[in-house]
Amino acid sequence: MSEKFDVIVIGSGPGGYVAAIRAAQLGLKTACIEKWKNKEGKYVNGGTCLNVGCIPSKALLDSSWKYHEAKDALDVHGIEVGKVKMDVSKMIERKGEIVKKLTGGVAGLFTANKVTSIFGTGKLLANKKVEVTDDEGNSTVYEAENVILASGSVPVNIPPAPVDNKIIVDSTGALEFSEAPKRLGVIGAGVIGLELGSVWNRLGSEVVVLEAMDKFLAIMDQQVAKESQKIFKKQGLDIRLACRVTGSEVKGEEVVVTYQDKDGKEHQETFDKLIVCVGRRPYTEGLLSEDAGVKMDERGFIYVNDLCMTSAPGVWAIGDVVRGPMLAHKASEEGVVVAERIAGQKPMMNYDVIPNVIYTHPEIAAVGRTEEQVKADGEPYNVGSFPFAINGRAMAANDTQGFVKIIAHAETDRVLGAHIVGPSAADLVQQVAIAMEFGSSAEDIGMTVFAHPTLSETVKEAALGVNGHAIHTVNRKKRK
């Protein structure tokens, strides 16, 4: 007889491990299967996010920003330093230690919550059976009342720039450079491209970003996108829009990239390293047997309903492998919802209030709808905004780029969205997300007492500005 569980989770990324822990907390006998191995060849939990995604990239972003500040931004505070040097190998080593602590932390949480950790490659069979294959090719079949698929995503590869993990790398390889490349090419001006481009730009690389779309950050509010583009240009990022990469050729220790501009004219650029980050795709290779009963859509995502239920009874799917934004926190919340549904509770997830962040400096963050989306929906709306340039706390920190923008319905004053480029944007947008979750109006935020002096006051002033009541800036005249 094969061992039976109430819940088996395939994948221990931020969706899978959270789902497993919550299920175990609810008294369900739970197992979590993971096949990820670290550089030492040891099995580890945490998936892409903890191992080669969110966490290590933020470690490099913070280290590179501190280097930039020490090198170029401390004199305004009266701090004089000698020649500043960056030890890239030590930065990479520190990143690795943070990853090790967090992945080890997941293992500790599994033990504390009595989650059975199973290492190997998991495959869903018919009738909610799960086959796990180890390194030697030995297979064990487990049974479950419920199975949660949380296999995540992998980088999209493109034929014109095949990744060799030496000269042409994906986002994982870009976290392991031993030194800052003299010239760095980045294909894709999305979240990953901008973050990784920023890291190496701060450390001295000449960075050229090639983006196929003719709009910068097309999914973001365009007022914020345009301001962000100006800031990145000042920082030294060479962002070229409407440029389609058509080929690449590795020559020795360099790569020659060929691309076409918006007029169809062909250009070539030579780089020491090339990062390919044009998006991610759901990872389902080997995940499902032919008779598993789980349907996929035309883009390769597992089909689920609003409650993350697949077409197979008792089988659920969450995170990057299903519809919706590929965000770690979205995956985690879906994991909680599914675990609680399995336990008989009735939680719902609000997909309209999921924050989205780009961890450049300044950060870019958003929640809810953009002004372009609200306008396209034909809803009457008001906008309030407030610049960090006149915020006392931002001035004290010498970090004054960007602004906060809040959009509210013109008749009900209900907050529809918030969009920020500026210091601590990720944390500030969360304040508005909480307000939106409770159906807040702009007036509600404006009536809340905010501590002074704080960056948070920009949120209050933007909310006041929605109805022309901002105190510390001149209010815009309402559109007629």
Q: Hey, which residues are catalytic here?
A: 452
Core vs surface per residue 173-191: b (16+ CB within 10 A) or e: bbbebeebbebbbbbbbbb
Backbone angles phi, psi at 191, to 5 degrees: -55, -55
Q: Can you tell me which residue has the tokens 């950050």?
A: 217
Backbone angles phi, psi at 288, to 5 degrees: -125, 135
How far apart CA 152 and CA 386 sit, in angstroms, is 38
- Angle, CA 198 vertex, CA 196 and CA 199 arms, to 5°: 65
Contacts of 187 (CB under 8 A, 6+ apart): 158, 161, 193, 210, 245, 257, 274, 275, 276, 277, 278
How far apart CA 225 and CA 419 sit, in angstroms, is 10
How far apart CA 444 and CA 459 sit, in angstroms, is 12
Tokens of 212: 């196929």
DSSP 115-133: PEEEESEEEE-GGGEEEEE
